[in-house]
Structure 1
């Protein structure tokens, strides 16, 4: 199974109840587009929420850069630090999530999720790859 990455993006009102972000079928987890509490649980969401799929980590990192530039963080860790962590972690099968407040109660959440899951082998690839 070849390692690849899926990208997810969400921007909206940051006041989402945690119960809506857990994979409980009774609350419609799979039907909403809210970011899950556990990054790997993005893969349990509908395939329509995937914003990109990449076979190379550099392509996924470029996508993260584009998302950040379109919705920059007002303060927080230096962008170069975020980029370094993405470049270090993605090739090793780690996930990357950049989540931050934009102001006015709005929240930005961008994730690149490694697939297949090393630590969660029961989560299948949503696109059937690997």
Structure 2
């Protein structure tokens, strides 16, 4: 059954400039909490990074909005702090999740920090092809069992990603 996993990252905006740990082939990727360069690569991270799993688009969007609202007073951009911006983003998130799409929210915060709130589709993920395997999921499944099920699939997916990366590097 199609579902979405929620992920957040709050850290230094400077960490976003370090590409290495944001790529699956990098030795620090697995334990780095910084946002991967490709959003679908969140699915390759350890299950402990998953902050929630939803089959209902409204519940997923509500979680997305709650995480963003926790930091809204610190948004660095006046545009992002406008009262109508976040509700519109949450409404768009609900529509995107209903369509099986990923949702990403990224905001620079005061103090040179960056907040990322992501909802990543799983079962199957729409793009790219190496993430198309659908882990088993049923509504009401415990978070730990969901994470374990998806983790088993991610182990094989990571091997596919690494093989693809190695082929690209050797062809270059």
TM-score by length of 2: 0.68
The Cα of 1:30 is off from its aligned counterpart by 0.9
Q: CA deviation at 1:27?
A: 3.0
Q: Which residue of 2 aligns with 1:118?
A: 126
Contact residue 65 and residue 87 of structure 2 kept, 8 A: no
Please say if residues 104 and 118 of structure 2, whose CA atoms lie closer than 8 Å, have aligned partners that are also in contact.
Answer: yes
2:79 corresponds in structure 1 to: 76
1:21 aligned to 2:22?
yes
Gaps of 5+ in 2: 136-145, 154-172
Secondary structure at 2:130 match in 1 = coil
Question: Which secondary structure does the structure 1 equivalent of 2:37 belong to?
Answer: coil
Q: Which runs of 5+ in 1 are unaligned?
A: none
Q: 4+ residue runs of structure 1 moved beyond 4 angstroms?
A: none
Distance 2:79 2:32 in 1: 28
1:6 counterpart residue number = 5
Larger Rg: 2
- Select the structure that is richer in strand: 1
Q: Which structure would you say has the larger RCO, counting Cα contacts within 8 Å and 6 or more residues apart?
A: 1
RMSD: 1.9
- Counterparts of 1:87 and 1:103, CA distance in 2: 27
What are the Cα deviations for residues 48-107 of structure 1, in whole angstroms up to 9, with x where unaligned?
000001111111111011101111134335113212321221111100010110011111
> Corresponding residue for 1:95?
102
Larger fraction in helix: 2
Query: How far, CA to CA, are the matches of 2:53 and 2:27 in structure 1?
Result: 27
Contact 2:57-2:95 at 8 Å conserved across structures: no
TM-score by length of 1: 0.88
Q: How many residues align structurally?
A: 128
